[in-house]
Structure 1
């Protein structure tokens, strides 16, 4: 694999199809390649030569061939080298992270919504990759389709001090697609004294305005809304996703070298109704962003 490519997780389901479509829309105008990866979590079984194992391998190749054909159709490219496909065996999160380390600029994964009890039992591949990957990871809900008119990009800001890269990328994406940018910050101060809540909202709005002035000035025609909301952050951000075409947030640069995806970020990944881009903190590694 070389530079100039997007890694796409393919699982044969509706979520994988949504990931392929989103990735192709991203890659087509940029001339990027797509590398489709299907991870089968049974290395010992796959290594056997039983009839059952051979049938399993055949089915996996068939689903990859179907996904690759769809990707070529969406890219509108005759060059077969624009789309690659591979099967890996082992832990899904670890295999996807290892593939991303080979130089891609973006990872796109589908998110097949499951009951919360299932996620607690099996974990979420999307959250596991988004929490540690050194390049941006976009989770695409199964069945998602973009809005035909009035696109909106939402940048979810936790603290202004750590959100410069987030605003740089969000403003670039919004400008590229002719979208309105909504810069959103939420904090649960509903039960605070009215004077305290009002002071927080005023200060937060002023900080966001300075952040926008510093990081969005390259696009003078970009329409930007600054929004400060008092409420449970995960719920506020998830609600905002219903009117958005892309939502961006950043892992926090805490003690871990790859940063930290906290409870709010994981809840947003789980509940968002639009694609969510999780950006690594600036110290986590290279990545040009979505």
Structure 2
């Protein structure tokens, strides 16, 4: 197993343990080495065995996996972002304890997902997915959304599961239309609305990727409503939800309000995919 590693952050919390378990399976599936990273406070005494213990658990789970342990001191966000520059994927838990956990999604998880130069998976939920649980991707027509679609197709292809492509639309003439984050609005169950312009947009966004990944079964979903409750509802029986992050001024990466809310509320792991480097 060679190539850029899958990097997972640990802090001894149950959330971090779930992140390590998820990252172990993912690294094996991708045939990439796994790097377990513990970030300790710059000052004071803290256990240095976090990384080595978690790495040993990964080796026991997948004996053929190449696993390394790394311990750094300092700011956890900056340490994880630094490790991510040479990583294929960053994996973090949704909440932690100690240094990481005291920064509440955890704040570390949200900051890393928003700013990382590689895709980041925030491991949420405790449900074990069934074999047919799909990958779900939110499509918004932006460059970052395009990167997310590519990531989602590749994930569905690796795992041999369907892909649910969700493009949420709103009737702009509806006086109720407003906040994209209205938690009181339930997503419509309507799917497959071929007369809508959005259906053509969705088809265009998927056509090239379907040609590249012909074995991936794709379900196109065009509900009327709000993106957040729609994607969160879909996460109940998904193995992964994929969203894009955005770029401002060509440099800074930010996670939009939809992505932030999905990270806080999804019931399964969430992959945040940055746009291609310019």
TM-score (norm 2): 0.83
Unaligned runs of 5+ in 1: 46-52, 285-290
- What is the DSSP-based 3-state SS (H/G/I as helix, E as strand, rest coil) of the residue aligned with 1:204? helix
Q: Is the 8 A contact 2:167 2:222 kept in 1?
A: yes
Change (3 A) 1:200 1:253: farther
**Contact persistence 1:151–1:178 (CA under 8 A):** no
Q: 1:164 to 1:262 in 2, by over 3 A?
A: closer
Asked if the contact 1:253/1:260 (under 8 Å) is kept, the reply is yes
Please state how far the C-alpha of 1:83 moved relative to its aligned partner. Answer: 1.4
1:105 correspondence with 2:88 = yes
Q: Which residue pairs with 1:167 in the alignment?
A: 149
- Conservation of the 8 A alpha-carbon contact between 1:7 and 1:37: yes
C-alpha displacement of 1:200:
11
How large is the RMSD of aligned CA atoms in angstroms? 2.9
Contact 1:201–1:228 (8 Å) recurs in 2: no
Where do 1:1-290 residues align within 5 Å? Answer: 3-40=3-40, 42-45=41-44, 53=45, 56=46, 60-77=47-64, 82-101=66-85, 103-112=86-95, 124-141=107-124, 143-145=126-128, 147-159=129-141, 162-189=144-171, 192=174, 202-283=196-277
Q: Partners in 1 of 2:195 and 2:269 — Cα distance? A: 28
Change (3 A) 1:123 1:34: closer
TM-score by length of 1: 0.80
Q: How far did 1:14 drift?
A: 1.1
CA distance in 2, matches of 1:262, 1:181: 23
Relative distance call for 1:25 and 1:135 in structure 2 (3 A) is same
Question: How many residues are paired up?
Answer: 259
Instruction: Identify, as 1 or 2, the structure richer in helix.
Output: 1
Question: 1:229 and 1:96, CA in 2 relative to 1: closer, same or farther beyond 3 A?
Answer: same
Taking a change above 3 Å as real, the CA distance of residues 225 and 142 of structure 1, as seen in their structure-2 partners, is closer
Aligned 8 A contact 2:120 2:273 in 1: yes
Q: CA deviation at 1:121?
A: 6.4
Note the residue ranges of structure 2 that are not aligned, 5 or more in a row: 177-189
User: Bigger radius of gyration, 1 or 2?
Assistant: 1
